[in-house]
């Protein structure tokens, strides 16, 4: 049986929410990651940056834009010791500037993902997966990239069943 890791980056606090800014206590991507783990088991790992992004949504938006343009690789607080024991890795993120936050690339580039199955999931407010699947294919050389799922962030809390069905069917 495949050993599964669900790794994610998520933003709590101020978030764009159906056309306005809303303060949320749990990030949408974190919520979806928990649904996946509940549905398929495995381990859960949160990507955390050393430098925290601004709590102000619009300032964070600009910080993410700058990182995207610079193709930055923000330093992370910690990593799993290795990914050798995992066959399948669900990778979750909010869509920032049409792709994954740069810290997700920092995480993935640390490991040899050859032969591993990578399954992306993305939360957003209407921009879908953007070019993130293409970018992940380029970053995760040697991995098998399966089709991802796009979850409307403001609806994430109500979509546990949809996420569970998708996660199970992705294995």
Under DSSP, the state recorded for 13 is E
Contact 9, 92 (CB under 8 A): yes
Q: What is the chain's pLDDT, residue by residue, as a tens digit (171 residues)?
A: 579 999 999 999 999 999 999 999 999 999 999 999 999 999 999 999 999 999 999 999 999 999 999 999 999 999 998 899 999 999 999 999 999 999 999 999 999 999 999 999 999 999 999 999 999 999 999 999 999 999 999 999 999 999 999 999 999
User: pLDDT value at position 47?
Assistant: 98
Other Cβ atoms closer than 10 A to 163: 21
Residue ranges of domains in the chain, CATH in brackets:
4-170 (3.40.50.360)
List Cα–Cα distances, 80 to 30, 77, 101, in angstroms. 17, 11, 19
* The model's pTM: 0.96
Cβ density class 145-160: b for 16+ within 10 Å, e for less: bbebbbbebbebeebb
pLDDT recorded at residue 1: 55
Both tokens of 5, joined, read 């890791």
């Amino acid at each position: 049986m495949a050993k599964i890791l669900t790794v994610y980056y998520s933003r709590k606090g101020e978030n764009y929410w159906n056309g306005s800014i809303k303060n949320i206590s749990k990030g949408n991507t974190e919520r979806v990651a928990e649904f996946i783990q509940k549905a398929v088991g495995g381990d859960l790992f949160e990507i955390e940056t050393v430098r925290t992004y601004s709590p102000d949504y619009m300032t964070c938006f600009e910080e993410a834009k700058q990182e995207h343009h610079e193709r930055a690789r923000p330093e992370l607080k910690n990593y799993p010791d290795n990914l050798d024991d995992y066959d399948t890795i669900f990778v979750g993120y909010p869509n920032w500037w049409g792709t994954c936050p740069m810290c997700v690339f920092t995480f993935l580039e640390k490991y040899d993902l050859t032969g591993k199955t990578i399954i992306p999931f993305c939360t957003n407010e209407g921009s879908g997966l953007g070019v993130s699947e293409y970018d992940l294919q380029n970053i995760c050389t040697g991995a098998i990239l399966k089709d991802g799922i796009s979850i409307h962030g403001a609806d994430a809390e109500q979509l546990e069943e949809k996420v569970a069905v998708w996660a199970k069917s992705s294995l």
